[in-house]
C-alpha cells in the first residue's frame, strides 16, 4: 500500500488530523490567560502550574512505559489508546473549567487542600495530565507510523507535513479561542469545542488502523515481513539499555529538551507577553498576532523536509534553528518593550516559527538513523520523556519568575489594587531565561555536528534511498 502515493499520504492525513486536534487542545487556554485570571482567579503562578500538569505523569515515568507499550503492542493498539486518553483527559478538563463546577461540593472539597491552587485549576490540571499522557504517546506513535509507511521514501517531508498540519492547529486555536470565549461568555466554550474535535480524532485513528492492518498483511504476503516475529527481532525491555548507552541518543535528547523548553512554555505566556510589551493591546489582538507563530513553521516545514530528503544537511539546520531562537527571544525581551512596534512583533513571531520548523524538521527524521527500528518507539518515547522533564518544570519556573519579578512592579501593584482585568507584567526576566535555553541548544547542536563527522551518523546525508 505504501508504494501507492495516494494511500501513504491518506494514511498521513488521517493521523496528522488527530495531532491537529491535539495541538488545538494543548493551547486552547493559552490566549485566555487574562480571562481565566479574572473569571477563575488563576494567578500567573497557578497558570504556570496548570500548564506544567500536562507533562507531570510523563515525567514520572509514563512515557517510558508508553515506549514499551508501543514496541510490544504495536502502532494500532498504542494509537487507539493514546487518542482515547486525549479525549478522556479533555472531558475532565472541560468539567473543571466549567462555570457550573465552581458551585459544586466537590470543587469546594478540592479548594480545601493545597490552597495554592483553586479547585477549578486542580480539576483542570488533572484532566490535562491525562490528556498529556495521551498526547505525548500519540506523538511518538505517529512518528513511528510515518517511519513505517515512508521508509525509503519521503520520510522527512512526511514528518514535516505532519508537523505543519499539527501547528496549523495552534494557529487555528489562537484565532478562534478568544472569539468562542467572548461569544459564549466564558473560558469553557473553547475547551468544550476542542473536546468534541478530539473525539473526531479518535475516529480518524480507527480508520487509519484498518489501513495499517491491511498494510501489514500485504507485507507478509510479499515476503517483506513475517507473520510471526522471530524471537531475536522481538522487543525486549533489556533493549532499552542500548538506548541509554548511546551518546548520540543523549545528545539528541538534550538538544530536544533545551530547544522545546524555549518554545512550548513560551506559547503558554506568549499572547499575554505581547499584550504587556505592546502597551496593553486587547487580548484578542495579541492572540491574532501570536497565531502567526506556527504559520511560519507550517509553511516552510514541508519544504525543509523535502530538502532533507534530497540534499540532507540536518545537523546544520539544527544549528541555524537554535541561533534564530536566541535572536527572537532577545528581541521580545529588549526591542519590543522599547518600540511597541507591531511590525517587529509580527516579524519576530514569524521568524520564531521558521526556527520552530528548522529544528524539528531535522531532529525527528534523524532518530531512525541512530536507533535500531525494533526499539525506535522506545527511543522516541525516551526522548519525549527527557523533553517532558523540561516542559513540566519550565512553565512553573516561568510562572514563578514572572510573579516574583513583578511583585514590586508599581504598574502591576496599582492594576491589582484597582481590580483591573489587564495586569501589565514585565516579561524581561522570563524572556532572558528562554534565550538562555537557546544558547545551550546552540552549543549542543554544534557538538552534534562534530559527533556526526566523527561517528558517521549520516545526519548530513539525504533520507531518500535511490
Extract the C-alpha cell encoding 315: 545537523
381: in domain: yes
Residue 458: CB atoms within 10 A of its CB come to: 14
Judged against a pLDDT cut of 80, whether residue 198 lies above it is answered with: yes
pLDDT at 231: 52
pLDDT in tens, 218-230: 888 877 666 555 5
Number of domains in the chain: 1
Q: How far is CA 138 from the centre of its chain?
A: 11
Residue 131's nearest CA partner among 191, 179, 71, 174 is 191
C-alpha cell at 99: 462555570
**Measured distance CA(375)–CA(79) in Å, rounded:** 17
pLDDT bucket at 411, cuts 50 / 70 / 90: very high
- In the chain, the N- to C-terminal Cα span, in Å, equals 19
Greatest mean pLDDT among 102-106, 124-128, 234-238, 452-456 lies in 124-128
Average pLDDT, the chain: 86
CATH of the domain at 29: 1.20.1250.20
Q: What range does the domain containing 170 cover?
A: 5-224+231-455
Lowest mean pLDDT among 19-28, 261-270, 376-385, 394-403: 376-385
Which of 143-157, 199-213, 220-234, 413-427 shows the lowest per-residue confidence on average (mean pLDDT)?
220-234
The confidence score (pLDDT) of residue 306 equals 78
Confidence of residue 464 (pLDDT cuts 50, 70, 90): low
Query: Within a domain: residue 466?
Result: no
377 inside domain: yes
More confident residue, 11 or 155: 11
Highest-confidence segment of 297-311, 377-391, 427-441: 427-441
Q: What's the confidence (pLDDT) of residue 148? A: 85
Given pLDDT bands bounded at 50, 70 and 90, which one contains residue 430? Answer: very high
Give the pLDDT mean for 31-55.
84
Q: How does DSSP assign 359-422, residue by residue?
A: HHHHHGGGHHHHS-GGGHHHHHHHHHHHHHHHHHHHHHHHHHHHHHHTTT-HHHHHHHHTT-S-
Task: Dig out the grid coordinates for 234 from the structure.
Answer: 522481538
Label residue 465 by pLDDT band (50, 70, 90): low
What's the CA gap between 440 and 431, in Å, rounded?
A: 15
Task: Convert the pLDDT of each residue in 302-352 to its tens digit.
Answer: 777 778 778 878 788 889 999 999 999 999 999 999 999 999 999 999 899
pLDDT of residue 345: 95
Place of cell 528548522: 358
Predicted confidence band at 249 (pLDDT cuts at 50, 70, 90)?
confident
Residue 233 has pLDDT above 70, yes or no: no
CA atoms within 13 A on the CB side of 272: 31
List, as one string, the DSSP characters of 73-125.
H-HHHHHHHHHHHHHHHHHHHHHHHSGGGGGSHHHHHHHTSSTTS-HHHHHHH
Predicted local confidence at residue 73, as pLDDT: 86
Average pLDDT over residues 349-357: 88
Cβ neighbour number for residue 2 with a 10 Å cutoff: 18
In a domain, 340, yes or no: yes
Q: How much is the pLDDT for 118?
A: 87
Q: Is residue 461 part of a domain?
A: no
Those residues whose C-beta lies under 8 Å from the C-beta of residue 151, and which sit 6 or more positions away, are 2
Assigned domain for 465 exists:
no
pTM for the model: 0.72
Mean pLDDT calculated for residue range 49-75: 84
Supply 370's cell numbers. Answer: 541512530
Amino acid at each position: 500500500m505504501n508504494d501507492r502515493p495516494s494511500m501513504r499520504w491518506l494514511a498521513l492525513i488521517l493521523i496528522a488530523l488527530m495531532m491537529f486536534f491535539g495541538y488545538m487542545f494543548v493551547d486552547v487556554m493559552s490566549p485566555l490567560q487574562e480571562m481565566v485570571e479574572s473569571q477563575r482567579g488563576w494567578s500567573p503562578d497557578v497558570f504556570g502550574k496548570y500548564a506544567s500538569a500536562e507533562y507531570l505523569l510523563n515525567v514520572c515515568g509514563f512515557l517510558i512505559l508508553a515506549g514499551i507499550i508501543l514496541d510490544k503492542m504495536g502502532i494500532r493498539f498504542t494509537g487507539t489508546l493514546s487518542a482515547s486518553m486525549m479525549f478522556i483527559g479533555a472531558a475532565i478538563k472541560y468539567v473543571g473549567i466549567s462555570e457550573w463546577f465552581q458551585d459544586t461540593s466537590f470543587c469546594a472539597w478540592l479548594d480545601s487542600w493545597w490552597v495554592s491552587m483553586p479547585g477549578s485549576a486542580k480539576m483542570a490540571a488533572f484532566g490535562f495530565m491525562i490528556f498529556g499522557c495521551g498526547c505525548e504517546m500519540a506523538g511518538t506513535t505517529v512518528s513511528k507510523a510515518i517511519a513505517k509507511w515512508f521508509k525509503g521514501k519521503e520520510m522527512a517531508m512526511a514528518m514535516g507535513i505532519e508537523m505543519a498540519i499539527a501547528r496549523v492547529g495552534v494557529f487555528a486555536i489562537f484565532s478562534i479561542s478568544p472569539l468562542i470565549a467572548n461569544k459564549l461568555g466564558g473560558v469553557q466554550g473553547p475547551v468544550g469545542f476542542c473536546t468534541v474535535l478530539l473525539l473526531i480524532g479518535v475516529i480518524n485513528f480507527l480508520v487509519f488502523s484498518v489501513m495499517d492492518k491491511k498494510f501489514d498483511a500485504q507485507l507478509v504476503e510479499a515476503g517483506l515481513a513475517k507473520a510471526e516475529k522471530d524471537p531475536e527481532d522481538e522487543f525486549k525491555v533489556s533493549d532499552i539499555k542500548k538506548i541509554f548507552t548511546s551518546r548520540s541518543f543523549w545528545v539528541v535528547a538534550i538538544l530536544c529538551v533545551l530547544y522545546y523548553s524555549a518554545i512550548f512554555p513560551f506559547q503558554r505566556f506568549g499572547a499575554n507577553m505581547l499584550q504587556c510589551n505592546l502597551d496593553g493591546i486587547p487580548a484578542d489582538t495579541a492572540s491574532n498576532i501570536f497565531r502567526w507563530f506556527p504559520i511560519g513553521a507550517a509553511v516552510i516545514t514541508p519544504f525543509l523536509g523535502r530538502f532533507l530528503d534530497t540534499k540532507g544537511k540536518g545537523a546544520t539546520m539544527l544549528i541555524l534553528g537554535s541561533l534564530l531562537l536566541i535572536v527572537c527571544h532577545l528581541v521580545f525581551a529588549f526591542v519590543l518593550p522599547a518600540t511597541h512596534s507591531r511590525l517587529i512583533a509580527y516579524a519576530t513571531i514569524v521568524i520564531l516559527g521558521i526556527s520552530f520548523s528548522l529544528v524539528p524538521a531535522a531532529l525527528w527524521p534523524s532518530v531512525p538513523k541512530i536507533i535500531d527500528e525494533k526499539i525506535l518507539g522506545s527511543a522516541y518515547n525516551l526522548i519525549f520523556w527527557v523533553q517532558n522533564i523540561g516542559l513540566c518544570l519550565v512553565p512553573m519556573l516561568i510562572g514563578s519568575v514572572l510573579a516574583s519579578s513583578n511583585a514590586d512592579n508599581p504598574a502591576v501593584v496599582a492594576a491589582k489594587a484597582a481590580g483591573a482585568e489587564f495586569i501589565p507584567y514585565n516579561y524581561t526576566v522570563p524572556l532572558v531565561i528562554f534565550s538562555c535555553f537557546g544558547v545551550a541548544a546552540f552549543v549542543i547542536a554544534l557538538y552534534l555536528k562534530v559527533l556526526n563527522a566523527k561517528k558517521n551518523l549520516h545526519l548530513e546525508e539525504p533520507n531518500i534511498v535511490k
